[in-house]
Structures are given as structure tokens and as C-alpha cells.
Amino acid sequence: MSLSLLHPPRALAALALVSLLSGCSVHGTYPDATEPDAAKLRFISNTSNTTLDIYDAQHCTGQTTGMLNNFLMADTKRRADMLVPPPAKARGLLEIKLAPGKDTMLMINTNGGSYVCGKSFNLTPKAGEEYEVIFDLQGGRCSTLLQRLSRLDGKDVRIPQPLFETGMPSCQGKGPIFGKLLPDTPQRTVLIDRIIEERAQLITAIVSENKVDRMQTSPQELDELIAKRKALMGSYNLPPDYWNQYRQNYELSNKESAGRITRALGLYTDVYRLRLRGTEDAILEQWMQPKDSAIKVRVAENDKLMLQYYGNARKSVTMEVVNHHMERMAQLDQRFDVCAHFDKCARY
């Protein structure tokens, strides 16, 4: 079973109950964004008793969007007139409008007779974009898929997006799922810094890569890609400016790819530090060499969750690098009107 890594299971269980009760308002308390270029998001749940709550810096207690797949009440009928239709097998769904460019945390909760499951992630939606979140339960584990939706040449296109779980730091201590931070004394800061440094070294050693990073494109490989693309284009010729930018896009992608591990490690240490800032002094003092059995268990559980977080962060960072490259190549082809002459142009 997958639980949110930033929020303790007890908080999630309590939140699931609160969401279930507040979901009785059918459409929830969240008001759609009113900007003319508001982003739209479709939430699809294939599990029972599911809610989607919305958090931002001004709403640390969250706002509900309604209930899905509850046998005692009808699903919310919230819709946002989205261009791309939902998958045919969607069990329950709702649609909302989000303020563009605003950091938003989405919290999914579901509960059944033998399980409670939750997932949170952050999204800063782009103006006018459409998104789709699919939440499922398979093999005893929750799964969450975020996709950007678009329609190209009359076809619906779904592009997977990274799931970053960074929480809402400005809400710490201001809501039921945001733990209170303890004062940053010099002694606590030293302890936390030591723990973070030691854990960062450990996590890097555990997941160190001993193979060639195939996301890097060598100069020879790039020359071959360009030669192949020119051959496919046949008599259609593009100016040198196009090919110069084409090369620069790959160089930028290589640079982003080279920084993947550093970026993932930064996300890991930021979240680890946030968890430690809410931990009591007596526990921090034993963190690196725990003697108390209860503290040993707590540290072990935390490190297990954080190892999972780091793995998810690396996957999301990798997806982000790929999406950035796809977007830049599509913008390049659009700038030179390549799609009007070449059916294998880049689209995003």
C-alpha cells in the first residue's frame, strides 16, 4: 500500500474520514478558478470512497472537490468542459479549474474495508493546459498517473508528467496534515545538518550508477541523428539556424540530464530536513546511532520511506528532462513550420 511520504499515516486516516464526511456536500468546497486562461484538471478514480483535496498557501486546511465511487451517494458531477474526453473505462471522475502558475498541492484519499491509501503531489499548472490524474489500486498498492492532455491533428494525446511531492512548507503547523516545526536552535541545526549529510552520502552510495548514462547524446550520435533526419526530409531543406538550434537543444538536454542525480538528491534532502525539523531533540540526538528500540524502528521506517522517495524523485526528474527536450524540439519545429513539410516533425 502506498502512502504519502510527507504526511504520517494517522494524519492520512483522519483526513480520509474528514474528506468522506465533507464530501457529502457533493461538489465539495473548492471553487473553480475564474481566470480566463485557467488550467483544467480531470481526476479519475478507479477505487472506492475517493476524494481529491486542494491545498495552497492560502488554504492550509484544504478544500474538497466532492466524493467519487461511494455506494451511499451519487458521484459529484463537477465538469470543466475539457477538450479531451476521459478514457472509456473510467469508473468515476470529476473536473476542476486551477489557477495558472500557482503552486498547488493535490491530496488523494481512498479507504475501504481493509485499507487506507493516500497520495499527495505538487502541480504548478500552465495557463490553458489540460491535465488528467488517474488513481488506481492494483496488487495492494496505490498508483497515481498524471498526464498532460492535448489534441493534435484531431487525435487525443496524453503525455505522462512527473509527480513531485514537495508539500506546502508555508503551511507547516497550520493544517491537520502539516506537522508543526520545532524552533531552529543552533544545537538542532547542527544535529540535522549532520544527519542530512550522512544520509545523503548513504543514499548516493546505495543507488550509485555503475553504467554509462544512456540519456547523454554524444557528438557522434548527434551527427548521426541529424544525418538521418536530413535523409528522411529528402528534398526539403532547412536553414543553418535550424540545425544550430537543433544541436543546442541536445546540448541543453545533456546538461539537464547530467544534473538529474543532483536535483533528485536536493529534493530528497529538502524533504528529509523538513521531517527532521518536526522531530524532538531527544530523538534527533539518537538518530544516527539509536539505542532506544522505539527510536530504532522510527528511524528505520523513515529511511525506508525516504529511500522510496528518492527513487520516485529520480524517476520524476528523468521524466522532466525528457519532457523539456520534447517541448523544446516541438517549439523549434513550430518556429520553422516544419510540420507543414515533414510528417515526422516534433509535437508536444
pLDDT per position as a tens digit, 258-292: 999 999 999 999 999 999 999 999 999 999 999 99
- Quickly state the pLDDT bin for 112 (edges 50, 70, 90): confident
pLDDT per position as a tens digit, 127-138: 999 999 999 988
pLDDT, residue 74, reads 85
Extract the C-alpha cell encoding 111.
Answer: 479507504
Domain ranges for the chain, please list them. 9-171, 181-348
pLDDT per position as a tens digit, 151-206: 998 899 999 999 999 999 999 999 889 999 999 999 999 999 999 999 999 988 87
Spell out a b/e string for 298-323, using b for 16 or more CB atoms within 10 Å of the CB, else e.
bbeebeebbbebbebbbebbbbbbbb
pLDDT, residue 139, reads 80
pLDDT, residue 22, reads 47
Q: How many helices (H) and strands (E) does the chain have?
A: 7, 9
Cβ–Cβ < 8 Å for 74, 68? no
Average pLDDT over residues 102-116: 90
Distance (Å, whole) CA 109 – CA 236: 53
Distance (Å, whole) CA 192 – CA 339: 53
- Quickly state the pLDDT bin for 295 (edges 50, 70, 90): very high
- Quickly state the pLDDT bin for 240 (edges 50, 70, 90): very high
Neighbours of 186 (CB within 10 A): 7
- Quickly state the pLDDT bin for 52 (edges 50, 70, 90): very high
Q: In whole numbers, what is the pLDDT of the chain averaged over residues?
A: 91
Average pLDDT over residues 218-242: 97
Better-scored residue on pLDDT, 4 or 107: 107
End-to-end CA distance of the chain: 34
- Of the candidates 108, 193, 123, 214, the residue with the CA atom closest to the CA atom of residue 164: 123
pLDDT per position as a tens digit, 68-99: 999 888 889 999 999 999 999 999 999 999 99
Average pLDDT over residues 298-327: 96
pLDDT, residue 27, reads 81
pTM score over 0.75: yes
**Which range has the worst mean pLDDT, 21-30, 86-95, 253-262?**
21-30
Neighbours of 144 (CB within 10 A): 15
Better-scored residue on pLDDT, 2 or 253: 253
